């Protein structure tokens, strides 16, 4: 099946997605990767407030290049999701429902996806010039000291993905 | 004796870094185009078409082929009749990388103290420099820009000397099965066999620098890898790998080191002769 969906996805929308479906995603995601994940996990364990609201949130594992002058988006594409695996079940338990990245996930992540009826969307790596056409803007919003590893507010429009792990825990 | 100013080398490194981040070698593109015609899965076909469009856009719009503009590896073959004058060679090479990355809106991905502060060096230096002395009065420069999605898939195994070709094949298949999906397939696979542990790893990376025609054993490994059906982007399909190159070197009676270095579909290599 092919779907055109707007974020955030409600539970009903997530449940109908099956592994291998093609999903064109529109709406806002948090772009973040390794160090931002570690910091969020530390803040959660200390019971402190997070710099971003992840309730029913969507995360895109990414570290884009800086846009050229006059452009809103640089080179942008997924980074390897499995490096985020140690932090993902915690973030899902705190409200994240949609994950976008590339590659395999751990058993723990698959279990958390199943438990919270989340979904993991896969988009190909190494095709950033193609993918950037479906990104309207990229704005760093938190952990700015991390440079390319900051948290970004990213707006997608018909961004091409495939369902990698569905709410039933089935994976490609 | 021929005098070469190291700043000329800096200029060449700068130009290569810029070109290689936007434009794939013709051989790489034709290898991928050819493989795309063998792909039969609908998702795999879609991914191939996205890939080929992406390469075109990168060149036309001067957008880096990947947001991970990599860690730069430089391979220099220096003719022993060359006299290098000017700033120290390693400083010159890093100057070239610095100039390329600070002026081009590439992503700076290098951090200093790897297990401490991990502060970004903000100019993508240092790069990794390999030098070798050869005869003559020329310098051959080769460059490989590699993201860490694929570099993290590297594997090394110290086999026993009585191991078989089949044991090595199985190791390659296990590595691709386990780590290939994360390394942005379809893949280019470099394998280094022999030498010492460190030398096998170096050989496996050098195996990615030239796409020489594959021999029978390499083709049979490629076939086996493709039967894993990881497919383009790891979404299933006929084409998991595009190319396998094995490089060998004499080794010790007690050992058989084997290293595997996997590259994503955007094999970013460049070369020049001074």
Tens of pLDDT along chain B (274 residues)? Answer: 899 999 999 999 999 999 999 999 999 999 999 999 999 999 999 999 999 999 999 999 999 999 999 999 999 999 999 999 999 999 999 999 999 999 789 999 999 999 999 999 999 999 999 999 999 999 999 999 999 999 999 999 999 999 999 999 999 999 999 999 999 999 999 999 999 999 999 999 999 999 999 999 999 999 999 999 999 999 999 999 999 999 999 999 999 999 999 999 999 999 999 9
Q: Is residue A168 within 8 angstroms of chain B, CB to CB?
A: no
- Tell whether B168 is covered by a domain: yes
pLDDT the model gives residue A137:
96
Q: Is A37 a catalytic residue?
A: yes
Tell me the average pLDDT across A154-163: 98
pLDDT of B93: 98
pTM reported for the whole predicted model: 0.95
Minimum-distance CB partner of A77 among B67, B105, B122: B67
Cis peptide before B161 (omega within 30 of 0): no
Instruction: Please say whether the beta carbons of B71 and B151 come within 8 A.
Output: yes
Specify the CATH number for the domain of residue B179.
3.30.1330
CA distance A137 to A26: 12
Q: Is B120 within a domain?
A: no
What is the C-alpha radius of gyration for chain B, rounded to an integer number of angstroms?
A: 19
pLDDT at B104: 87
Is B42 inside any structural domain? no
The answer to whether residue B127 is domain-embedded is no
Residue-wise pLDDT for A12-43, tens only, equals: 999 999 999 999 999 999 999 999 999 999 99
Interface test with B, best of A37, A68, A125 (most B CBs within 10 A): A125
Number of domains in chain B: 1
Beta bridge partners of residue B143, listed in sequence order: B74, B270
Instruction: Give me the domains of chain A, ranges plus CATH numbers.
Output: 28-154 (3.20.130.10)
Q: Supply the range of the domain harboring residue B215.
A: 147-267
Distance from CA of A43 to the nearest CA of B (A): 19
Best interface-test mutation with B: which of A23, A24, A81, A126 has the largest number of B CBs within 10 A? A126
Within B185-255, strands assigned E span 187-195, 241-251
β-partners of residue B260 are: B155, B191
């Amino acid at each position: 099946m092919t779907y055109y969906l707007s974020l955030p996805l409600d539970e009903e929308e997530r449940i109908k997605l099956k592994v291998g479906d093609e999903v064109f995603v529109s709406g806002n995601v948090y772009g973040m990767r390794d160090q931002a994940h570690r910091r969020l996990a530390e803040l959660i364990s200390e019971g402190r407030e997070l710099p971003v609201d992840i309730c029913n949130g969507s995360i895109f594992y990414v570290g884009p290049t800086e846009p050229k002058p006059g452009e809103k988006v640089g080179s942008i594409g997924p980074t390897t999701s499995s490096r985020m695996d140690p932090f993902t079940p915690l973030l899902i338990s705190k409200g994240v429902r949609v994950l976008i990245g590339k590659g395999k996930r751990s058993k723990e992540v698959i279990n958390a996806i199943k438990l919270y009826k989340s979904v993991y969307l896969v988009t190909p790596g190494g095709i950033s010039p193609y993918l950037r056409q479906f990104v309207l803007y990229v704005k760093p919003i938190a952990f700015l000291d991390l440079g390319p590893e900051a948290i970004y507010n990213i707006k997608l429009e018909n961004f091409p993905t495939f369902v990698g792990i569905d709410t039933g825990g089935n994976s490609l | 004796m021929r005098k070469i100013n190291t700043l000329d080398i800096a200029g060449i490194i700068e130009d290569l870094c810029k070109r290689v981040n936007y434009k794939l070698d013709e051989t790489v593109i034709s290898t991928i185009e050819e493989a795309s015609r063998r792909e039969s899965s609908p998702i795999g076909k879609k991914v191939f078409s996205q890939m080929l469009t992406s390469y075109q856009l990168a060149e036309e719009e001067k957008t880096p082929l990947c947001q991970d503009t990599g860690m730069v590896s430089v391979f220099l073959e220096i003719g022993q009749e060359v006299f290098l004058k000017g700033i120290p060679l390693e400083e010159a090479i890093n100057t070239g990388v610095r100039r390329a990355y600070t002026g081009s809106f590439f992503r700076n991905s290098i951090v200093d103290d790897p297990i401490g502060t991990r502060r970004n060096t903000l100019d993508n230096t240092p790069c990794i420099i390999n030098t070798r002395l050869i005869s003559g009065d020329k310098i051959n420069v080769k460059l490989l820009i590699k993201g860490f999605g694929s570099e993290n898939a590297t594997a090394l195994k110290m086999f026993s000397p009585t191991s078989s070709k089949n044991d090595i094949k199985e190791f390659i298949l296990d590595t691709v099965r386990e780590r290939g999906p994360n390394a942005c397939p379809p893949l280019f696979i470099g394998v280094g066999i022999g030498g010492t542990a460190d030398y096998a790893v170096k050989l496996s990376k050098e195996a990615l620098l030239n796409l020489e025609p594959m021999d029978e054993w390499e083709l049979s490994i490629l076939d086996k890898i493709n039967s894993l059906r990881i497919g383009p982007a790891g979404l299933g399909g006929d084409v998991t790998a595009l190319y396998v190159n094995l490089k060998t070197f004499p080794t010790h009676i007690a050992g058989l080191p084997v290293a595997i270095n996997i590259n994503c579909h955007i094999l970013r290599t460049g070369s020049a002769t001074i």
